[in-house]
Amino acid sequence: MIMTYLEAIADAIRVEMRTDKSVFMIGEDIGAYGGAFKLTKGFLDEFGPQRIIDAPISESAIIGAAIGAALNGMRPIAEMQFMDFVTNGFNQLVTVAGTTAYRWSIPVPMVVRGPSGGGVGANPFHSRNSEAWFVHATGLKVVCPAFPDDAKGLMAASIRDNDPVVFFEHKGLYRKIKGEVPEGEYIVPLGKARTVREGKHCSVIAYGSAVHMALEAAAMLEKEGIDVEIVDIRTLVPFDEDSVLASVRKTGRAVVAHEAVMTAGFGGEIAARIADKAFQWLDAPVKRVAAFDSPTPFAPTLEKAVLPNAEVLAHTIRRVCSF
């Protein structure tokens, strides 16, 4: 069935809620209003107010309630209306959820999900790509899908996982990206990358919106005789290091791309691992393409200047292939 990225995520949640009565949702405006992006439209009618819980505007309370429910045998899905606002519940998520399994040796099966990313003129308060914060906070799993089928399969896997998962949904992909999505129960295992394009001259390692940026750059460069391989890592934690290294050993060159800012972005971790474990196969330095170290501007022209794009990525690949 053809679905948008947003529809695929909603379908995964709906299927899991029908399958497992311990799964419920809690968040701001997810019930009667159907969610800020209408992802939960119709959920209240189907599942009722005991499982689709409209919460007050308190991310700390939402995540804290989800932790308590998870510790008592439920599988909560906590929505952040925008992932920027997870900062209000940062202590609950990082200090409590992220360490409880380690400290107590009990599962904490919960998902914190919501829209992230820029490119839609949503200003600095609704455009952050904050995935690197949670990679650094050990004990959490971090997921950033790029395609509708992956969005569905990874969401289902996240709900079924016994560890807390932070699930980033790029809002710019919600209705822009469509694709074939399996019906019914569908699982994509966490921690396995996906090679979305085979190539021989340079590997582009990306996730989320940057995968589509890479596909656009690869189409541009194909006309110039440069054959780009694209690896979508899909999950940052667990990280499929083996697939990334295998691609780099094959092509001898690597460019790492993401929409988040450059400094301390997850691309630096990927680049470091490539340099450490695939150095003898490299024919050029590992390069990164990312956003400028700046809040995301509201003005469309300024936002476009701050965020990475296919032209910048293509230029970087050309430089790497010129070595």
Whose CA is closest to 164, among 107, 249, 85? 107
pLDDT at 318: 98
Catalytic residue from among 126, 170, 212, 258: 126
Model confidence pLDDT, tens digit, residues 5-31: 999 999 999 999 999 999 999 999 999
Per-residue model confidence as pLDDT tens digits over 168-197:
999 999 999 999 999 999 999 999 999 999
- Alpha-carbon distance 264 to 216, whole Å? 25
Strand 165-170, strand 141-143: pairing: parallel
CATH 3.40.50.920 residue window(s) in the chain: 194-321
Alpha helices in the chain (DSSP H): 5-19, 43-47, 59-71, 90, 98-104, 131-136, 148-160, 209-222, 241-251, 266-277, 300-306, 310-321
Confidence (pLDDT) at 133: 97
DSSP string, 170-226: EGGGTTT-EEE---SS----TT--EEEE--SSEEEEE-THHHHHHHHHHHHHHTTT-
Strand order across the beta sheet in which 23-27 lies: 52-54, 23-27, 75-79, 111-116, 165-170, 141-143, 235-237
Percent of the chain with pLDDT over 90: 98
pLDDT tens by residue, 295-307: 999 999 999 999 9
pLDDT at 45: 98
Is 126 catalytic? The answer is yes
- Position 56 confidence tier, pLDDT thresholds 50, 70, 90: very high
Is CATH 3.90.1640.10 the right assignment for the domain spanning 2-180?
no
State pLDDT tens for residues 62-104: 999 999 999 999 999 999 999 999 999 999 999 999 999 999 9
pTM exceeding 0.95: yes
The residues near 97 (Cβ < 8 Å, ≥ 6 apart) are: 63, 66, 67, 70, 108, 110, 139, 140, 164
Task: Determine what percent of the chain is predicted with pLDDT higher than 70.
Answer: 100
- What is the fold of 194-321? Rossmann fold (3.40.50)
How many angstroms separate the CA atoms of 286 and 112, rounded?
33
Is residue 225 within 8 A of residue 187, CB to CB? The reply is no
Give start-end residues of each CATH 3.40.50.970 domain in the chain: 2-180
Q: Quote the CA–CA distance of 8 and 5 in Å, as a whole number.
A: 5
> Phi and psi (nearest 5°) for 75?
-125, 80
